[in-house]
Amino acid sequence: MKQPGVTRALPVRGISKPGQGPGARYDSLAVTYFPSKLPCQYRRRWSVSLPCSGWVRVGPLRSNHQAYRVYRRSWTHVKRVDALKTIRMTGRCYNRRVMKKIGVLASGGDAPGMNAAIRAVTRTALFRGAEVWGFWDGYNGLLDHRVEELTTWHVAGSLRHGGSIIGAGRCEPFLDADVRIKAVEELREDGFEGLVVIGGEGSMQGAWELHKLGMPTVCIPATIDNDMPGTEITIGADTAINTAMEAIDRLQDTAAAHRRAMIVEVMGRQCGYIAIMAGLASGAEMVITPERPMELEGIFEEMRQVWLRGKRHFIIVLAEGARWGAAELAQLINESDKPYDARYTVLGYIQRGGVPTRFDRILGTRMGVKGADALLDGASGALVCWRNNRSQVLPIDELPPRGDPWDEMLGRVHAISTM
């Protein structure tokens, strides 16, 4: 008998939507899959989970121009697609045996709302009859065997707290392939059957490496930078934006009192999402991001125009991955023929802490439930994404690339709001 996780083609035996023939037009239908070459007594214990890119041939189609595409990561939902010259269908078999023991860890930098995700993963696993253990300090705890069983008591009251109740952090030794192989072997020896990883892009890559070694792994995106592919928003970004906005509001008061330019550097690595949204929310005169670099002459000209309009302040929100740092840009402005004296503030790690907003608490809870359910249902090598106002589970190797956070519409909104 095939072992769980083996990829192979599986036949489709029927359509469970009566009254509509092959030529009918409809958006979705339910199909039933039965793994071939398996004894009848095993068929009810096995199911098929098709990847989102899988093409499914349904029923006795009259030509090769009709097929159905999976639009949810579920073996019961497919979508009609026409004009396909090639029909291909592959799938992974997963044993439906319920997992009894899973782990959860928070890796990389902490983000407000991580505790909501940890709490949701823990309670979902317990609700479904599985043990859940928390690894301390991310992948470091996985390598050092620092692990603790989590119960509802451990996660009670954690929703309102920032940081991570099981710690977080980066782990350089985990980059070694031999270290990862040994870690997976020890996980299996300890009885772990799956792992939920909460963190950013580096954490997701670590989860993908564990998946390739055969350890079922699902990742939940949690980073204030909001720089992960596939998802519209990550846990922690909303709280970080609110923190930056409140700081900019305060700095604007003192800038107006002294007729100054105030440069506020926010976090985000190579992504300007925090800078853009905080700048829009606070009415900043200028936002500089890595995606949209600016020349010095353009900055000076905009300052002169704002001065002529009679404004007593000029606020620049600067993403940390931009061309200049805040101190360097302030020096360049002060050495030039400028209308404003420049001062700068680097917000730094203050954006990571604090009480999570309502949005991050709910987002972390919904993503945590979705991630734990996906893992216990047999998914692996997947990321929980927030798309079209709902959570989805997408394969990590098929995630759409991250786009420019400052689209044409946002640029127009900013230009109008800062007049």
> CA 239 to CA 102: how far, in whole Å?
29
> CA 166 to CA 108: how far, in whole Å?
12
Active site residue: 110, 225, 238, 377, which one?
225
> CA 114 to CA 53: how far, in whole Å?
30
Residues in the chain: 419
As a dihedral over the C-alpha atoms of residue 75, residue 380, residue 366, residue 222, rounded to 10 degrees, the angle is -150
Identify whether 341 is a catalytic site residue: no
- CA distances from residue 20 to 15, 260, 325 in whole angstroms, order as listed: 10, 70, 63
The answer to whether the CB of 263 falls within 8 A of the CB of 255 is no
The answer to whether the CB of 92 falls within 8 A of the CB of 54 is no
Helix 358-376 to helix 114-127 angle, to the nearest 10 degrees? 40
The answer to whether the CB of 319 falls within 8 A of the CB of 272 is yes
Active site amino acids: 225
